Structure 1
């Protein structure tokens, strides 16, 4: 091995270590999904309660994004990532000893805080540590660590709940071991930020300059629709599979819930091969097809729709999300880029939480099946609105050229 190859290998270690820590943290945020039916049975929770449990996670994410989004520039990447891991550990411990709704809500908020810290800080850290020879795959590794971790979380918890006793304890013990490994990885990673002489911590401001709004609005609508489906997958899917389809196996529930995120990872990887001007419309179109397949699964009460639908919707969500994020980042002036991107992420996480609470409220009045169909109709409508906004300029351009 040549000296340059040895140096490259040394640089690859911290890069992969931070990516592993990123994935381990995100795994912990979705692990409770296949366990919700067990919590319902043990504590007598209603479907509305389950959706609220999920929604407070999004509140934790948004709070951490806004409060700490710029702190790593002042304090350094490693301290913030260690703080995220600490929140993840606390979440596991709280869930491990949860004896009722209060502790479960606390565990979800802590989990959301860990995700909020890692979503911004770890993505930047991975990109800063990528070896020169791997520059082209750096963004894909960050994407796989984030969305892939979200997808593996329910799959891992579901398998553990089926294969071993103590289904409400063992998944969190296993995740604690993963977090310990993540701590070791971060310990070996170098700091990529030089602290300023005077540290100034500030809250991330939100805002979209007028010149960026024409790009931001359709991208945000598409992101809202895509993350609504993400929220549906990780909060309501267990109830649909159990109450409507009669499938109560946690491993199956975890697979179906995690499938959308794995597919999203694939979609984000594929979007670079699409024509740049058509990436966002193509993503919206694929998402629309996936949502219609999910609606078919709900209406026909068939498991096939809950497997094929999330797989297709996830690919569309991944394409649309990465394309939209890239478009608004490119359109934003340097002095407003951070606030615009943060606003985009806040829109996405609001989409994960508020519509899911709406599902819980509506499901307490009408059937879960009708609620699901109304939800799918709303997402489909948002996709159509985004598509109309995205395609209208091209039509006008074509007509003027003619």
Structure 2
């Protein structure tokens, strides 16, 4: 929640500190830098001190980040607060995902992790919008509203028993094959597409809707919330559907939504763009949950934590690096041109992932058919 709380406030920061689109993108990327740094150390820290201890530290860092936001009076102080917020999210993300993997089946763990993440992200913009509409000094008061949440989380985590190291949990070996390696690469690529969309919406879409598509501030924030809420809904609805089918549908929705979004930005239709966001959100959620489930299935249990960390590092890099480039392009050519460029690139990357998925799944299906024919011949 804390990571998306700033999304509606970015426009206030732009006016207060006279920032450009690229400066906003850099402040957003500062959060990602914090996430990546903490992801790199979270696995080692969890093995040494336990997952419960790492999660408690993450919540404490989240409280410190909120205090920095409350005291922020310059763009640099906002950037520092974003780094701290990213450190908190990074420590929680991989640690909690690994804990769920240890106590739940692979698919259920992926869905629970994805739905929980998306739900928390969706609540952040709504909380900030409450402060913007009804409270004075919303850039600071939004974080007063946020403070009870990490405080309650800290109390709940302190009541849990320390978790055992994953080395002592029951493991189910997964043979390491070329097919599994290719599956991990595809899962990471599809996650990057979804996270790039996430970064774009959290950093630049509210400004796009207000400045170029002539919508109000509440509707601009609603678009971000729709994306994240639809992502959570998409992950929850496909719980009992096969991972492969979910991937096909999710990538198709992302591709269709990306092309429609580019067209709607070009014609300047803000309300239709917000509706299209719902399609993108469903595709985002289905793609994220299915790629994480496929990763959990392909990676041996003893390498789960390391694979999860690498998986999220690539995802968060994809949410930051393209946005910095889009911020620069926006300052040069305008935010609408930069946004159209983003969605066209997103479309072609998703299309490449879809083709790769078809290529990887066809041989598997063919091998099952051949195996069945051979087995029948042997019986005869």
Q: What is the TM-score with the length of structure 2 in the denominator?
A: 0.87
Aligned to 1:115: 89
| Offset, 1:161 | 0.9
Deviations 1:269-294 (A, max 9, x none): 22333333322222111111221232
Contact 2:114 2:289 in 1 (8 A): no
Counterpart of 1:225?
193
Pick from 147, 151, 154 the counterpart of residue 176 of structure 1: 147
Could you tell me which residue of structure 1 aligns to residue 264 of structure 2? 297
Pair 1:258 & 2:230 matched: no
Distance (whole Å) between structure 2 residues aligned to residue 169 and residue 40 of structure 1? 15
254-263 vs 52-61, which moves further: 254-263
Paired residues for 1:161-240 under 5 Å: 161-193=132-164, 212-240=180-208
Report the counterpart of residue 34 of structure 2 in structure 1: 60
2:22 matched residue in structure 1: 48
Report 1:331-346 matches (<5 A). 331-346=298-313
The answer for the alignment partner of 1:100 in structure 2 is: 74
Could you tell me which residue of structure 2 aligns to residue 150 of structure 1? 121
Shift, 1:127, TM fit? 6.4
CA apart distance, 1:138: 6.7
Match of 2:339 among 360, 363, 372: 372
**CA deviation vs aligned residue, 1:238-260 (integer Å, no higher than 9, x gap):** 210121023342x3332211221
Q: Distance between the aligned counterparts of 2:98 and 2:362, measured in 1?
A: 37
Aligned length: 361
Judged with a 3 Å threshold, the aligned counterparts in structure 2 of structure 1 residues 52 and 126 are, in CA distance, closer, same or farther, namely same
2:130 aligned with 1:159? yes
For residue 39 of structure 1, the aligned residue among 13, 20, 32 is 13
Please state how far the C-alpha of 1:393 moved relative to its aligned partner: 4.3
RMSD: 2.7
Q: Deviations over 1:290-314 (max 9, x none)?
A: 2123223311222223322221111
CA contact (8 A) 1:292 1:309 kept: no
- In structure 1, the residue corresponding to 2:283 is in which secondary structure? helix
What residue is the counterpart of 2:376 in the other structure? none
**Aligned-pair distance for 1:106?**
0.2
- The offset of 1:346, in angstroms, is 1.2
Distance in structure 2 (CA, Å) of the matches to 1:104 and 1:259 = 26
Matched residues in 2 for 1:138 and 1:216: separation?
17
| Inter-partner Cα distance in structure 2 for 1:335 and 1:129 | 14
* Separation in 1, partners of 2:107, 2:262: 37
TM-score w.r.t. the length of structure 1 is 0.82
Which ranges of structure 2 fall in alignment gaps of 5 or more residues?
Answer: 168-175, 371-380
SS in structure 1 opposite 2:139?
A: coil
Q: Can you list the C-alpha shifts for 1:120-173, whole angstroms capped at 9, x where unaligned?
A: 22334466688xxx9997765443321100111011101221111111111111
Listed one character per residue, the Cα deviations across residues 199-236 of structure 1 (whole Å, up to 9, x for unaligned) are xxxxxxxxx98553321232222111111110111001
CA distance in 2, matches of 1:395, 1:42: 55
Residue pairs, 1:9-88, within 5 angstroms? 27-88=1-62
Secondary structure at 1:80 match in 2: helix
- In structure 2, the CA distance between the partners of 1:58 and 1:296, relative to structure 1 (3 Å rule), is same
Q: Secondary structure at the match of 2:332?
A: coil
Mark the runs of 5 or more structure 1 residues left unpaired by the alignment: 1-26, 197-207
Deviations 1:298-346 (A, max 9, x none): 1122222332222111111211122112212212234443333322211
Aligned mate of 1:284, from 251, 255, 258 = 251
Moved more, 111-120 or 238-247: 238-247
